[in-house]
Each structure stands twice: as C-alpha cells, then as structure tokens.
Chains A and B, each alone.
Chain A
Amino acid sequence: MAITTAQPEFDLAVVEEIVARHRGDAAALIPILQEIQTHFRYLPEEALRRVSALTGIAPATIAGVSTFYTQFRHAPVGKHVVSICHGTACHVKGAGLVHDALRRALKLSDDADTDADGVFTLEKVACLGCCTLAPVIQIDGVTYGHLTPATAPNALSDFLELERRGHLAASASASGARGLAEIRVGVGSCCVAGGSQEVRQALEDAVRDLGVVAAVKPVGCVGMCHQTPLVEIAIPGAAPAFYARVQPQDAAGIVQRHFTPRNPLKRVANAVSTALDRLLTDDAWTPVTRYALDTRDAPVCAFLGPQQHLATEHCGDLDPLDFDEYLAHDGFQALDAARAMDPAAVINAVTSAGLRGRGGAGFPTGRKWALVRAAEGLEKYVICNGDEGDPGAFMDRMLLESYPYRVLEGLLIAAHAVGAREGIFYIRAEYPLAVTRIREALRRCADRLGDVQLRVQEGAGAFVCGEETALIASLEGQRGMPRLRPPYPAERGLWGKPTLVNNVETLASLPWLLRHGAEVYAALGTPASKGTKVFALTGKVARGGLIEVPMGITLRQIVEEIGGGIAEGHAFKAVQIGGPSGGCVPASLADTPVDYESLTAAGAIMGSGGLVVIDDTDCMVDLARYFLEFTQNQSCGKCTFCRVGTRRMLDILDRLCTGHGKHDDLERLEALALQVKAGSLCGLGQTAPNPVLSTLRYFREEYLAHLEGRCPAGKCKALITYTVTEACIGCTKCAQVCPADAIPMTPFDRHTIDAEKCTRCDTCRRVCPYGAIKIE
C-alpha cells in the first residue's frame, strides 16, 4: 500500500552527528540505530549504509542486528504508531478482538498495517507492562486502557482530537517526564462510566481559561476502579498527586492548586473566580485520596493481605527521584555498610541469607557472586538485567520506575562484592519512564557512585535478551543470540571479561537484606526459598497490581486474600505463573506454596513474577497457543529445536484451535514438546514447551474437546457461534453496535445473528442488557 505521508529528504548529517556522539564505537550500534530511528521514525537504508561507512561496522552486522530486534522498522510508517499490547493479561481480556476492531476501523486489508491515508500504523507489541489496564494500546506514547472492540476505535478519534488541540507534543514529551506538566485523566471504561469525559472537558476549559502551561492527557485507568474518575497531576520534578472521585466542578480548583497562571491579569481574574467558586460550591474542594506512586498501575499499598515489602519497601511514601528522601529512608546505608566490609563478607551474607536470583531460574545469588569474584582478571562488569520481556509481567518496570535508587544501590553493592568497576543497566526500550528515571537517578547521586561507572543501555525488543548470554551479545552490538554455557558469564561475559548479571528484583532486595542481616532475611520464606517475591498479579482477579509476598504463601492466598478473588462472579480455574516459560497451576492445586521447588513440581516455574489469574471463560488450549506463539515469535532462530520445533508445535495448536486437529495430534504435540525441551540450546527453547505441557497435564479434556471441534470455554473463534436466546426483547442494541452488520435491525422482534457475517467480536454479548446472546 502506498503511504502518502511525505518522507523528509534524508539528511544524513543527522547520522553523522549521532555516530560522532557515540565516537563511532561499534559496540554502540544498537543505541546508534535507536537514535536514527527516533529521527527518521524508521531505519532508511541510506542511513544504515552511512553508519557502516562511518563506523566500519560490516554491512552484514548492521543488517543482521537491525532485523533482529523488533523495535527497528525498515519501512516508513504512518504518522502515528498504534502499539497494541498482546501481553498475557491483554490477551485473556480480549486484545485480539481489540486488534480486529482497530483493523476494521482503519479498513486495513489483509497484509496492510497502515491505513490508506497513512495516518495510523498498527503494531503488535509483546507487552507494554500496563497489565492491570488490559487490554491496552498506546498511540505515540498516549496510553488507552480497558478497551473493548466497541470503544477501541474511539481511542483513534480521541487521539486525533488531542492532536488537533495541539496537546500531543506536550503530552508525548511529558510522558517521558521530560518537559511539560500533565494533568492525566483516567479514560478507562470505569472512569468514563464515572463521568471522566465531563471532568476532562472541565479540566481542559480550566487550563485554557487560566492560561496554564499543562497538557490534559487521557490515560488508561490506574486500576482503582472504585475511586473513579481519577485525575493525576504530574509535574516534572514534583511528586505527582492523585485525586479520586473528581467531579467537573472540581476541575478549576485542582488546576489552580498546582499551576500558576502565566498572565498576571488572568491571575487576578483567577483569584476572583476562585472566590466565586468557593461561594458557589457547598464545600471547599478537598482531595479525597492522594497517592505518591505515579505508576500506571494500582499502587502496591492499595492492596491488603499478607504482603511484606522488601524490594518495594516504603511503597507509596517515596518520591522516586527524591534522593534526599531516599537517604532519609535508610537509603545507601546498606551500600555504605557493604563498602566498609570485606567483599567476601558481603558475599557470605548474601549466601547465608539464601537469596536466589529473581529472574526466573533461581540460581543462588551468593554463589554467582563468588564465581565472578573468584574469576581471574581485573576488569569485571556488573549488569542489571531489566529486559523484562515476559508478557504479563511488570515487576521490573515498576521497581525501576518507583525505586531507582534502590536498584542502583543494589547494583553498587554487587559491584563492590565482585570487584567490578563498570556497571550497566540494560532496560527494555518499551519502558521509557524506567530509563528516564534511572538516568536521572544516576545524575542525582553521581557523587555516591565511588569508582564505579554506571550507564544505561536500552534493549531493542527481543525477549531472548533476558537470557544472559544473549543480553551480553546485545550489549556488544550483536544480534541477541544466546550461546552455550559453560563458559558462564561469570568466567567469560561482556567483552570476554567476568560479568555478573542480576535481575532488577534481586538487586532491589539487597539493601533490605543487608540492613536487616542475613538471618532476618532467611527467616522469611521456606527452607529452600528465602525472602519475598514480587509478582505482577493480573488477569481475572478483582484487584490486580504489583504485590510483594513472602515465599511459601499459597497461590490461593494470593488470589483470594490479596487479589480479592475472581472478578465478575466467574469461577477460578487456574493461575498461569512464570509467563511463556512457566505453566498453569489448576485451581485444584491452589494450595501449592509459592517456592521454587513446589512450583516446578506443579509444572510451572517461579519465573520472573508474572501471575495471571484464569477463570472459566478462558480456553487453556488458546492460552497454550498464545504463549507458544509468543516464544515462537521471540525465538532467535539459531537452534533447530527452538526455531523449527516450536513452530511445528504451534502448527498443531493452530489446528486444534481452528477445529482441524488430527487424531494423533496430542501425542505428537507432547512428544515434540519433550524433544524441544531436551534439545534446545538456551533457556528460551528449553522452557517454551512448559505452557503446553502443563495444560496438557491438567486440562487434557479441553484438548480432547478441541479435537472434537468444541471449545468448552467459548473462546476459539472458529469453534463457536453466537446465537440469540428467547430472553431477547428486540431492543436493537446489538444490531446498532454490530461492526459486521450481522444482526438485522428488527425492533421488538427477537434478533438473529448471521453466522457467516459474524466476526465473533463479542460486542453484541457485551452490550446486551438482557444476557440474551449465547456462545455455543
């Protein structure tokens, strides 16, 4: 399809500037490409050739790297990029239907991703990490959450409206906390139901009338749906403020409280109107609720239950970037104490505390440190692995965004313990706020770094880079291909030097551990799994969000006591834990304690902490297919078992979900899954079959039903039909919303659905006030 957006003449001077800024360093290839893409919005071939000429990096390397990472685009895109999150939480909440609805709204033909006018380009992204807002899309950095097939197209028009009013630049830059202040209004379905559109209008009026420099930005629901409409004031450098249950008449008061009008005359008028307002309203305006946590998800402290905050210590109290506040809350005490200790003693403490790596595999942290310390060589590296790629997980993002100093402190402690002078935060590019916060934190505490040099590198969109050898390849400016271990990075890592790679949460646990001592830490949890674990609790649970719980807590406690049980009166079916490498634990095993060994025995893994609650409307075959499609997409393509094997597994699952299963498919699927598990080179391939194997183990009857062409959960589109029951009174609501014209307008008569035209978008069932739409 022709894209009508005019591309600017290539000004390759920009490329020269960018390369010069990186001193032509070959290792900086990925940052160089990222900056070029920021400029051109894709990677023009001319620019890549120029990079090769300027840096001496082989064209083959540049072509290989630039096509490996999903962040990089090689063709011009529409004016705005719509990123549709296909994370687990979004998937189970209907991201596919939202995607279809957007495609319909933009009238995209089969292979096109950009509309005919070149305005919007749809892009599927692995996970935006805003799982409690699911399903979520982002348009040029503006987040819309809780979408339905019916509301999704409104996000497009809303965005264009925002652009028309000139607020786009402001809000886009403000989302990175780099410039303008923002007044964020929740536009999730709950907020809209609570009247947030009117509030937004009132806020926009107030901003205009008062001449305030701020952008009113609609954002996804922040998760506290009982407190809608929600308004957040985000001013760079200041603690953000949340206001709950805001009414339109409150708008002016809120704006005045935080912003000074530019125009002196307006200031006078403003004072008068304020006086009037005070006279006219019954009560002086008072904020109802105020949270200091400016993440896009439900704040941790909003949850009750048996939580313990170590990595998330002082949640809700800390301004993420206020270094003095961090110091006042015992910040850097652990670092100072560690630096006063012999490194061996620090390693001992971590070892005896029983801390295990929180990235997934659970390798004892102390032992890893000891290996790096013992490795020969003066030059060593420490890396903070913030390449959180699991769809349905956002622990690392939230820790980096909310506690940048704590993660930093952890990395400095690790550097001291292993004897490293250089450290790198590897953070995925999908987390711009985390990147900004860590960079800013580094700047603000520069004088406390000692002789350790720290920098941030952004990932470029490859799940496999969470694997440490792939991550290192990526840091060296290569394709993120894992290699066989041993040698482990502890012996031969970045640039061949001993390298420690620790996950964000592992590092964030260190300050508490060292301040309270190994014994106190080891007293938490179970004999083999010590301390606490941070989880991203999402899916069909009443209260989703980030939680931190002691090891050994049962899954049932998490779902019921912390999460408030299953939402919408459905039945608790399973917990998907550990993301694409993990598995499903059925409700019947909900009393499984959360520790490394028990979860593995149940067919899941601890993983990095994604915890998606599944109810009876979710199809387990579809879920297995979903995860396999994810890993299959993320496979680096190097080894046979992962590259081809996962693809053949997906072929079988595709068949099952479309009713074309063959009689021996389940046996073949299982056999191949075991082969892929045993024969793959790295952790990605070795664990990719887990979601399939665990669902086959616990939900085999659902697979058998699919073999017979039935989807018991009513999820697999090809296997279901929508019909109207006798409960229908002919209100025409379904007919009005049907995007496919599959429901004729028959007022007062029972409606019918044309199965041929029906796209199974589920919109009719959602709008029917009488529950008369049935899935068979």
Chain B
Amino acid sequence: MPTFMLDNQTLTVDAGTTILQAASAAGVQIPTLCHLDGLPAQTSCMVCVVKVQGERRLLPACATAVREGMVVESESEEVRTARRTALELLLGDHLGDCRGPCQLACPAHLDVPNLLRAGEIGAVKAMQPWPAVLGRICAAPCEKGCRRAQWDNAVSIRAHERRAGDADLAGTPYTPPLPALTGFKVAIIGAGPAGLTAAYALRRRGVACTVFDDHLKPGGMLQYGVPEETLPRDVLQAELATLLLPDITLRLNVRVGETVSLDALRREYSAVLIAAGPGVTLGLPAGPRGITVEKHTLMTTESGLFAAGGAVAPGHQAVRAVGDGQVAAQAILAYLTGKPTPAHRPPAVSHYGRMHRGELALLAEGAARTPRSDAPEDAARCLHCDCRALDSCLLLRHGAAYHAARHTWEGERRPFTWDRSHAEVTYEPGKCIGCGLCVQIASREELGLAFIGRGFTVRVAAPFDGALADALRATAQACAEACPTGALAKRDG
C-alpha cells in the first residue's frame, strides 16, 4: 500500500494503482483522451502527463504506477503547459468543424444543424426564444455562413426557424423546465429582445427577474419599430407570452430614473441590467456609441450593474440583441455565483477552414440535391458539417479547459474524407488523433481496424483496403463511444 503525495495531498493506494486512478479516486481531475477503463493504457495522447519529482521527463499518469514516497504534481505550470501543448499539437492536426459555420455566424448561436435535423423546439428556445419572430425578421447571417452556399445555395434556415416557431405557437407552446428559485433577483431595464431574452435565460437558471419598460406594451423595437406587415402583431404577442415565464414580472409604463431611481433598483436587486435601447445612459459613463462596459463581462463601471443591446452599441439587428441578452444573462449569473464569466461564443476549437470543390462534393454526397426552397424538405439539403460528437468530444472539452488554441501549432491541413458506408457509424479520418482505442476494441473482430503506416502519416483504417462495414461488425457502437473525438461517430438518429 504505497503512500504518495499528489498536489500536496497525501494519498495511500493499493499497490499497482496508477497515478490516474489514484487521482481520480481523490477527486483530482487529470485530463485524458486515449484512456478507457478496462483497456490497457495506450500512452498515445500524452495529455495526462504529470511531473514526478526526481524525473527529468513528464510521465503519463495513465501508465505510471504509484510508488512509495512519490511526489506528483498535476497542476503545476510546467504540467499545464505540457498538456496545453499536447492539446494544441493535436488540434493543429485535427480537421473538422466543432460547430457548423451557420451556428458560429448566428449572434444568438442557434444550433442550426440540430434545428434542421430534429427541429426539437426546446433546444431552439434554449438558445433563441424567438423563433416565430426572428423567423420573420432576421437578417439570417447563418445563411451567409452556411457551407452549402459554397456548393450551390444556402439552406433556407430562416424558413425552418419560422416553421418551428409557428408550430410551437399553433399548439400548446413549449415551457422549459424551471428550477426552484435561487433567491437572487435581477432588475432588467427594457422589455425589448435583449432584456426579455436575458430574463428568460435567467429564470431558466432559477433567477427571478423584474422587467421595467416605459412603454405600455412589451417588445421594444419589435413592438414599436418593425412594420406590421413584416411582423404581424398577433405572432409577436403569442411569442412574447411564451417568454414571460412565472417569476418574470413586467413593470410597464415605468421610466427608470424618473418613476424609480437606478440607485433604488441597485439596492433592491442582486444585479441590474440596462437593456433599454439606444441613447439611454442613466448617467453612467458612456462613449459615442453608448454606455461603457467591460467587453467580456458587460459590466459597467459600477459593480453589479450591467448593460447590453442597443444601450451599449446601437444599430444592431434583432438577432444581435437576442445574442446580447444571452451573454448578459450568463455574465450576471457568473457575477451572482462568483464564477468566471464564460466565453461569449460556445467553445469551438476546430475548423475545416476553406474547403475545396472536391471536398464539398464529398460532403454534399449525403445531402439532398434539390434546389433551395422554403419547403420543409429543404432541411435535407443541410450538409451536416457540424461535429456529431460535440457533447462527448474530449479534445473540445480539454482544449477549452486548457485554453488550447488550434492555430498555435497548426500545420498543413489534412485532406477531408468522410466514410459513410457503415450503417451505424461514420468515420472521418481528419478528426482522428490516433489514440488507438478503436484499434484495440476492434481487435476482437475478424477484420478489425489497423494502424496503417507509421509516424506523422499513420492512419487508422480497415486492413487491406477493406470496407468499414466489414471491419466493424460487432464493435462499431463501442468504437464510436470510445472515440475521444468525432472521428468515429454514431450516425444521426
């Protein structure tokens, strides 16, 4: 039963226990990509390296057994740098889009490919609670970003969004699961798209909100700026109603600064968000465009006082205001809970970059060849170039956690190929990090998978140019589940 030190903790473990196992039992998280319980250590990714005192080299925690008296550092700067470098080396040689260009182009970060695949309203509303409204008035930057536009024409994303919103309003509108109230209360000044989006997002995280507006109706510029023929007001009213969740209180016809003072709001509420549209400064320091805020946290010069939307930078599209509302909600939550403010953009550590015609053709093979239309069938034209392993990808998760940048050690771009011949899984070699797990798992297959070649150009493939379907008869699901990236991924649906 060796006893050893791990980051100043003294631990006693069974003989033969690896540093990784010991750390995991002690609650110390060591990142791994190529490790899978029950399989021998692959020691390929080297993301789990730790510093063992007295050793010149860093050692992989997954394969190093604890020895009596060992002193192990898992969180030192040297270790963190090495892990980040390993992740950056892998990212720089990893070809794929974590998220589709459509989602990245959307200021509200709407998960467009999922909308097109399933159209599940809850997922849509989580990011963008105004599908019926924005489905009518949005400038649709997503369609400009759409990769299909490089091939022929963009998928008609906005039409799908509108259809999803209208469908929701036609029946019993979706209501999100609401957690119990946390006790925090937030005052929001302005019931436009930014303010109501923030209120909706905050309430979904257990924060009660009071929304003040000096108009008689909520909706801000949606109500008072957009022409009726573009946005019928019954649609607006119906969708507004879905946003006003319990414990979101509307205080209309109230002018903050006159009816009620900002100071009074700041005293009464845990935080205050100014989302009142262009020109409103409420006496706060402002630049030529609007109220001065810290770019990342959206906090004004006053603690606990936030500003977003038109009050900070006028001339935004509605979708931008929605995106700002999301960011403000996250920043306020972080402020309230004392946690660091998350990144504005959802983490995406990898990109295809510019695809050439042949690669687009390969991507387009799996999509409908019909011309663009506003019909529901148009969804089948989506190339689904986003990554299917977004939730499970360890490269994404650890890459984001270690602030690994894909450009640091980016090299020549790998060619894009995509094997979709298997009924259960797809294989995208550009995303493979050569961890060896699938080769190991498939070794009980008759054909299985092999490392072909060696060194930098080593790749995983079925032996003798065999078909993926023959290589993975019984273990396809297991391989896809074990794959630390989206290289081997289960097919949609």
Give A residues with C-beta under 8 Å from B. 45, 48-49, 58-64, 67-68, 462, 479, 483-484, 486, 632-641, 643-648, 651, 672, 675, 678-681, 686
Contacts and interface: CB of A to CB of B under 8 A. Distances in A.
A637 B456 contact: yes
A639 B47 CA distance: 10
Contacts of B452: 63-64, 67
B82 interface: yes
Contact of B41 (A61, A484, A634): A484
Interface in B414-453: 433-434, 436, 439, 442-443, 445-453
A679 B44 CA distance: 11
A479 to B, nearest CB: 7
A632 B44 contact: no
B46 interface: yes
Interface string B314-355: 000000000000000000000000000000000000000000
Contact of B43 (A60, A634, A681): A681
A391 B101 CA distance: 48
Interface in B75-134: 78, 81-82, 85-86, 89-90, 92-93
B153 interface: no
A143 to B, nearest CB: 28
Interface centre among B46, B60, B82, B93 (most CB of A within 10 A): B46
Nearest to B40: A483
B466 interface: yes
Contact of B89 (A49, A633, A640, A686): A640
B371 interface: no
Nearest to A645: B89
B90 to A, nearest CB: 6
Given A640-B45, A643-B456, A647-B456, A64 B409 contact: no
A-B pairs, 10 with minimum CB distance: A63-B463, A637-B458, A60-B450, A60-B448, A644-B89, A59-B463, A63-B450, A64-B450, A635-B455, A637-B455
A63 B464 contact: yes
Contact of A679 (B82, B442, B457): B82
B57 interface: yes
Given A679-B82, A679-B86, A60 B439 contact: yes
26 contacts: A48-B464, A59-B446, A59-B447, A59-B464, A60-B449, A60-B450, A67-B452, A479-B454, A483-B63, A635-B456, A636-B454, A637-B456, A637-B457, A638-B434, A638-B436, A639-B44, A640-B86, A641-B46, A643-B455, A644-B409, A647-B411, A648-B92, A651-B411, A672-B409, A679-B85, A680-B57
Contacts of B56: 678
A483 B60 CA distance: 11
A483 B452 CA distance: 19
A675 B82 contact: yes
Given A60-B442, A641-B86, A681 B449 contact: no
Given A60-B463, A64-B452, A479-B451, A641 B89 contact: yes
Contacts of B41: 484
Given A49-B464, A640-B86, A679-B82, A61 B450 contact: yes
A686 B49 CA distance: 14
A484 B457 CA distance: 22
Contacts of A632: 455-456
A341 B279 CA distance: 99
Given A644-B90, A648-B89, A639 B46 contact: yes
A635 B463 contact: no
B398 to A, nearest CB: 12
B85 A675 contact: yes
A67 B454 contact: yes
A640 B409 contact: no
Of A486, A634, A640, A680, the most chain B CB neighbours within 10 A belong to A640
Nearest to B465: A45
Interface string B37-72: 000010111110100000011111001110000000
B57 A462 contact: no
Given A48-B464, A644-B90, A678-B57, A672 B85 contact: yes
B43 A484 contact: yes
B63 A640 contact: no
B472 to A, nearest CB: 11
Contacts of B57: 678-680, 686
A634 B458 CA distance: 11
Contacts of A641: 46, 85-86, 89
Contacts of A484: 41, 43, 59-60, 63-64
A611 B41 CA distance: 38
Contacts of B458: 636-637, 643
A646 to B, nearest CB: 8
A602 B62 CA distance: 34
A639 B46 CA distance: 6
Contacts of B60: 484, 681
B43 A483 contact: yes
B43 A648 contact: no
B455 A634 contact: yes
A638 B46 CA distance: 10
A679 B445 CA distance: 33
Given A484-B64, A638-B44, A681-B60, 10 more contacts: A45-B464, A63-B450, A484-B60, A484-B63, A635-B454, A635-B455, A639-B45, A645-B89, A647-B456, A648-B409
A645 B451 CA distance: 19
A637 B458 CA distance: 6
Contact of B93 (A634, A644, A680): A644
Contacts of B63: 483-484
A639 B49 CA distance: 12
Contacts of A68: 451, 453-454
Nearest to A647: B456
Nearest to A70: B454
Contacts of A638: 43-44, 434, 436
Contacts of A483: 43, 63
Contacts of B59: 484
Best-buried of B41, B58, B86, B454 by chain A (most CB within 10 Å): B454
Given A63-B464, A640-B89, A679 B447 contact: no
B97 to A, nearest CB: 20
Contacts of B47: 640
Contacts of B453: 67-68, 637
Interface in B1-54: 41, 43-47, 49
A59 B450 contact: yes
A59 B448 contact: yes
B43 A639 contact: yes
A59 B455 contact: no
B46 A681 contact: yes
Contact of B454 (A637, A644, A645, A648): A637
A637 B85 contact: no
Contacts of A45: 464-465
Contacts of A633: 455
B274 to A, nearest CB: 42
Q: B43, B63, B433, B449 — which one has the most chain A CB atoms within 10 A of its CB?
A: B43
Interface in B447-488: 447-458, 463-466
A641 B58 CA distance: 11
Contacts of A60: 439, 442-443, 445, 447-450, 463
A64 B411 contact: no
A264 B293 CA distance: 109
Contacts of B45: 639-640
Most buried by B among A58, A60, A61: A60
B268 to A, nearest CB: 53
Contacts of A635: 454-456
Contacts of A651: 411-412
* Interface-centre pick from B81, B439, B455 (highest chain A CB count, 10 A): B455
A285 B436 CA distance: 68
B119 to A, nearest CB: 39
Contacts of A62: 463
A45 B452 CA distance: 14
